[in-house]
Structure 1
Amino acid sequence: MKQIYAFEQKEEFDRYQDIIQKFGNKLKNYQKILEEQYALNDLPKGVIWTTPELATTAFSDIPIPAYTNKNLIYISPDLADWRKLFLQQLEGKHLPNVEEFYENYSENQVFIILAHELAHHSDLFLDEFEDEREEGIWFEEGMCFYLPRKLLLSEKEFDEITTVETELVNAFKDKYGNHSIEDFGSSSYEGSLSSIMFDYWRSYLAVKHLVEIRAKNDVMSVFDQYHKWDQEGRKVSLVEYFELEFLFE
């Protein structure tokens, strides 16, 4: 994958150069894991490193400065901006543990966001980027967070992010949880960051439940069931197939 730098000022590149190099090296190692174990057969053409402003205005209008398409991954490596962004998720709610976590959000956790974007390119996922992605989106999004968190974070880091996102789901479920996890993204019209992120939190927790509780940590058996759902003609929604309707009641 090519490393592409999209900055308006050389000073911006200079500011991020060290973390970009660090993340680039770590991504190569994660890429090998995905290639060897999780059917990463076709890589994107490159990673575009850019500022939060350009990521969310020039390249996209998505309010989160990390995303991917068939050819390119876009990401901002600005740790301070990620901390600020994630604190905005609280919408003024007083959640001390969550606030402390995001005030000290680590480089490792930002790297997981980049690793999440690369995981989308695994051929284990059924839908292609150009497809109308309507069914089972929650599974892909949740798994793309679960895999790098489980594989790359320490046990302490993994437990911290899980605890934080569980608390966030509980805090916002009355406001944003009035739709099935199957309707991933349906709250985006609300226009708030939290309404968008709510479905990511739920999706990660649902996949974690599938892997660690249902499948006793056998992630490939979960993928097997996912493929079986598709092969059988997707007769019911994926959340019904996995019998997860109760999970966030």
Structure 2
Amino acid sequence: MKQVFAFETKEGFEEHQSMIEGFNEKLKEYQFELEENYALKDLPKAIIWTSEELATTVFSDLPIPAFTNKDNIYISPELQNWRRLFLAQLEDKTNTKIERYYENMSENQLLTIVGHELTHHSDLFVDEFDDEREDAIWFEEGMCDYLSRKFLLSDEEFNEITDIESEMMEMFKDRYGDHSLDEFGHASYQGSLTSIMFDYWRSYLTVKYLVEEKAVGDIKQVFSEYQSWHNEGRKKPLTEYFEVNTLFR
């Protein structure tokens, strides 16, 4: 993968250069893990490191400055802006623990967002980037979160983000949780940030349950069942197939 820097000023690049270089070293290890065990065969052409403003206004109109397509990963390394963005998820609610967590969000947590985008390129996911199918998005998004966090975070960091997102989901399930997980993104990117992120929290926690509870830690078994669902013709919703359609409701 090429490393492309798309900042409007030299200073913008230099401010984040050291962190980006550190990220790339850690990503090489994660990339190797995906290639060896999770069918990462075709890498994106480049990671495009850019500002939040350019990511959300020039390269896309998405409200979150991290995304991937068939060719490239786009990501902002601006940690302070990520902290601000995640704090905004609280909307009109207050929660001292969650506020403290996001105010001090670590570089490692930002690294997992890059890892999440790279994981989308695994061939174990049955839908292609240009597919219009929407009935299994939750599984791919949740698994991308799970794998990147499992391999890029310490156990303590992994448990901490799990606890935070579990609490966030509980706080907002009455406001944003009235739809099936199979309708991931039903509010689309025209919804509020929190309504968008709610589906990510629930997807991650569902995949974590599938791996750690139902499959007793066997990630590949979960992938195998997901692929069987697809190969058998997707005869029922994936949540029903996995028997998680009432989980976290």
Short-chain TM bin: over 0.9
Residue aligning to 2:90: 90
CA distance in 1, matches of 2:230, 2:189: 29
* 1:153 and 2:139 correspond: no
Residue aligning to 2:56: 56
Whichever residue aligns with residue 3 of structure 2, its letter is Q
Given the superposition, is the C-alpha separation of residues 189 and 141 from structure 1 closer, same or farther in structure 2, using an over 3 Å criterion?
A: closer
CA distance in 2, matches of 1:40, 1:95: 39
- Asked if the contact 2:62–2:189 (Cα under 8 Å) also holds between the matched residues in 1, the reply is no
Whichever residue aligns with residue 165 of structure 2, its letter is E
Given the superposition, is the C-alpha separation of residues 113 and 157 from structure 1 closer, same or farther in structure 2, using an over 3 Å criterion?
A: same
Residue 162 of structure 1: how far off its partner (Å)? 0.3
Residue aligning to 2:209: 209
- More displaced stretch, 180-189 vs 195-204: 180-189
Deviations 1:58-99 (A, max 9, x none): 101111000000000000001100000000000021111111
Residue aligning to 1:11: 11
Give me the TM-score of the superposition, normalised by structure 2: 0.98
User: What secondary structure, in the 3-state scheme, does the structure 2 residue paired with 1:47 have?
Assistant: strand
Residue 187 of structure 1: how far off its partner (Å)? 2.0
Count of residue correspondences: 249
User: What secondary structure, in the 3-state scheme, does the structure 2 residue paired with 1:5 have?
Assistant: strand
- More displaced stretch, 92-101 vs 185-194: 185-194
CA distance in 1, matches of 2:53, 2:231: 42
CA distance in 2, matches of 1:244, 1:133: 20
> Which blocks of at least 5 consecutive residues in structure 2 are unaligned?
none
Residue aligning to 2:109: 109
> Which aligned pairs between 1:99-178 and structure 2 lie closer than 5 A?
99-178=99-178
Moved over 6 A (4+): none
CA distance in 1, matches of 2:248, 2:29: 35
User: What secondary structure, in the 3-state scheme, does the structure 1 residue paired with 2:90 have?
Assistant: coil
Whichever residue aligns with residue 110 of structure 1, its letter is L
User: What secondary structure, in the 3-state scheme, does the structure 2 residue paired with 1:99 have?
Assistant: helix
CA distance in 1, matches of 2:190, 2:100: 26
- Asked if the contact 2:63–2:189 (Cα under 8 Å) also holds between the matched residues in 1, the reply is no
CA distance in 2, matches of 1:30, 1:189: 29
User: What secondary structure, in the 3-state scheme, does the structure 2 residue paired with 1:89 have?
Assistant: helix
Residue 133 of structure 1: how far off its partner (Å)? 3.0
- Asked if the contact 1:146–1:208 (Cα under 8 Å) also holds between the matched residues in 2, the reply is yes
Whichever residue aligns with residue 78 of structure 1, its letter is E
